[in-house]
């Protein structure tokens, strides 16, 4: 399961849902708000994952869904 904040994760949620499937994505607070201003941040299987770009995060999400 991938969890991202639609406001602070710096990730296009629609793009993420298309990439790994809507059933694998939850949105909401991940407890990292404003800690990362440019990086793509989210939780993959409960673990906080920080990547330099959205594309790197999407790749990590695909490999761990």
pLDDT confidence of residue 5: 94
Domain ranges of the chain: 2-64
14 burial class (0-12, 13-18, 19+ CB within 10 angstroms)?
A: exposed
Which residues does residue 26 pair with via DSSP β-bridges, in sequence order? 3
**Strands 47-51 and 40-44, how do they pair?**
antiparallel
| Cα distance between residue 18 and residue 13, in whole Å | 9
- Would you write out the chain's pLDDT as a tens digit for each of its 65 residues? 999 999 999 999 999 999 999 999 999 999 887 788 899 999 999 999 999 999 999 999 999 86
Please state the pTM of the whole predicted model: 0.90
């Amino acid at each position: 399961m991938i969890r991202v904040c639609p406001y602070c994760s710096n990730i296009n949620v629609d793009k993420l849902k298309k990439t790994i499937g809507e059933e694998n994505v939850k949105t909401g607070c991940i407890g990292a708000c404003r800690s990362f201003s440019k990086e793509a941040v989210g939780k993959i299987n409960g673990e906080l994952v920080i990547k330099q770009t959205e594309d790197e995060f999407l790749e990590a999400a695909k490999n761990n869904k």
